[in-house]
């Protein structure tokens, strides 16, 4: 299993750097990939795009994807954007 | 009560600094979920102004007006770009722009595209601070 915790907001100003870090972590690990959102207060549309593309990348490799440590406001946002239909969010 | 009137460079970094300043300003005085919604929608509208209005060109600016009276948060973001035809974008935008518009629809009670799409105005309801989570 792979785990990665960005520990900062996943927004347009940071999304390229976080994308690089996720890509590296995916390459180093096998099995389910868990993104730990503890300490993440904001995810904008660019960040949502990164989460969805991460899910798609892992799905191509037959690997699961899951979010943990999601703050209540982000949980509500992700559910409203119907992201829970693609991967588990907790 | 909030009353901000700022001119910012049309850059991603300026938007980030502005939004973090707003977060600090609202922390503790607004309900957390109201502050989250205001910052999120503002980020989407400002990012749109930087990307499509400023076109990432140096020297471009965006104007941001924010007011809040305890019951309502109002924002107005203007850029100097070519604007866009809202009716041509709404409902058909995809990718990040489509998601940004979806977020605007989800949280804003009203929104309007003015001056040929160069200004976006929106409002969000605010709940009483005493019922803060």
The structure tokens listed for B92 are 């058909």
Question: A25-72: per-residue pLDDT in tens?
Answer: 999 999 999 999 999 999 999 999 999 999 999 999 999 999 999 999
Tell me the Cα Rg of chain A. 12
Contact B36 A73 (CB under 8 A): yes
Which residues of chain B make contact with A49, given a CB cutoff of 8 A? Answer: 95-96, 99
Contact by Cβ (8 Å): B124, B109:
yes
Q: Which residue among A12, A42, A72 places its CB closest to the CB of B40?
A: A42
How confident is the model at residue B95, as a pLDDT? Answer: 66
How confident is the model at residue A59, as a pLDDT? Answer: 97
Contact B43 A44 (CB under 8 A): yes
How confident is the model at residue A46, as a pLDDT? Answer: 95
DSSP A8: S
How confident is the model at residue B81, as a pLDDT? Answer: 80
Whether chain A has a CB inside 8 Å of the CB on B105: the answer is no
């Amino acid at each position: 299993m792979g785990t990665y915790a960005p520990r900062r907001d996943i927004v347009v100003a940071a999304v390229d750097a976080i994308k690089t870090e996720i890509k590296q972590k995916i390459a180093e690990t096998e099995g389910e990939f868990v993104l730990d959102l503890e300490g993440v207060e904001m995810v904008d549309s660019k960040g949502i795009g990164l989460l969805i593309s991460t899910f798609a990348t892992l799905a191509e490799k037959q690997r699961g994807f899951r979010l943990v440590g999601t703050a209540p406001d982000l949980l509500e946002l992700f559910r409203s954007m119907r992201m829970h239909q693609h991967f588990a969010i907790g | 009560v909030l009353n901000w009137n700022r001119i910012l460079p049309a850059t991603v970094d300026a938007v980030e600094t502005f939004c973090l300043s707003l977060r600090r300003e609202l922390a503790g005085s607004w309900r957390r979920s109201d502050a989250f919604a205001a910052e999120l929608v503002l980020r989407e509208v400002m990012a749109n102004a930087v990307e499509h209005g400023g076109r990432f060109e140096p020297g471009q600016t965006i104007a941001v007006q924010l007011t809040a009276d305890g019951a309502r948060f109002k924002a107005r973001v203007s850029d100097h770009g070519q604007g866009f035809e809202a009716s041509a974008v709404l409902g058909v935008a995809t990718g990040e722009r489509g998601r940004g518009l979806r977020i605007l629809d989800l949280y804003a009670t009203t929104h309007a595209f003015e001056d040929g799409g160069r200004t976006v105005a929106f409002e969000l309801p605010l709940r009483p601070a005493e019922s803060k989570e």
